Amino acid sequence: MSSLLIPKVIGHRGAKAYAPENTLSSIHAAADLGIEWVELDVKLTRDGVAVIFHDDELLRCTGADGLMKDLDWKDIQELDAGSWYGDSFIGEKIPTLEDALNVILDRGLGLNLEIKPCPGREKETAEVALDVASRIWPEDGPPPLISSFQHVSLETAMDMIPEWPRGFLIDEHLPDWRQLAEYLEAATINFNGNTATREEVEEYMELQKPLLAYTINDPEFARELMRWGVDGVFADNPDVIREAIETRH
């Protein structure tokens, strides 16, 4: 895991302040801004295709009723994942993980891939996503960071590709967070920067792993977290946050 070089700002779901989240347009938007890494969510269709999408429900980002787990890939391909965001993105599709990885590699980006399984598919989602990613990602490059709120998904990642770093995701401060992070051999602690206290951040720092805070869109607060000792942040507006951090002194 020595090759894990994480930038101070990671584009959240691409660069979702500028393009529909978790789409190829959003990845390109981040790259066009000069952002070095993006974070994307992966889940499975009913027939087991790994796609880039965040919600269990399709409605918010496609306008369609139903759940991702209940539709096959052929049906998902027909959905419009861009018109909800703006007219210029009408016709934007939900990408497969394979398509997203090819764009990421073509644009020279690093990746935090969050395994976001539908309930009950924690192991399967990790297996399919990591199988796809391991076939596409070059062996000689820095590996992607694999994160998840689901410990079963991270266990699966640890078993399948132990050399790829794992990010331990924390929404609310857990009493046993340290034991879990150590058991999963976490390379990073990815925590909710908007709810964590300074005391909790200092506790996370004791593990001596990079601390990544999500989702931080306020420039002054990003600077404050850096003063606390946070190593990096996820941002919808990564260019704005990067500029704020670089000019904080």
CA 171 to chain centre: 14
CA 7 to chain centre: 14
9-246 fold: TIM Barrel (3.20.20)
Give the start-to-end residue ranges of the domains of the chain: 9-246
Task: List residues with catalytic annotation.
Answer: 12, 54
User: Per residue in 148-197, pLDDT tens?
Assistant: 999 999 999 999 999 999 999 999 998 999 999 999 999 999 999 999 99
Helix or strand holding residue 10 (H, E)? strand 9-12
Q: For residue 78, give every residue at least 6 positions away whose Cβ sits within 8 Å of its Cβ, in sequence order, or none.
A: none
Per the CB < 8 A criterion, the answer to whether 18 and 28 are in contact is no
Question: What is the reported pTM?
Answer: 0.97
For residues 203-219, average pLDDT: 97
In the predicted model, is pLDDT for residue 239 greater than 90? yes
User: Per residue in 104-140, pLDDT tens?
Assistant: 999 999 999 999 999 999 999 999 999 999 999 999 8
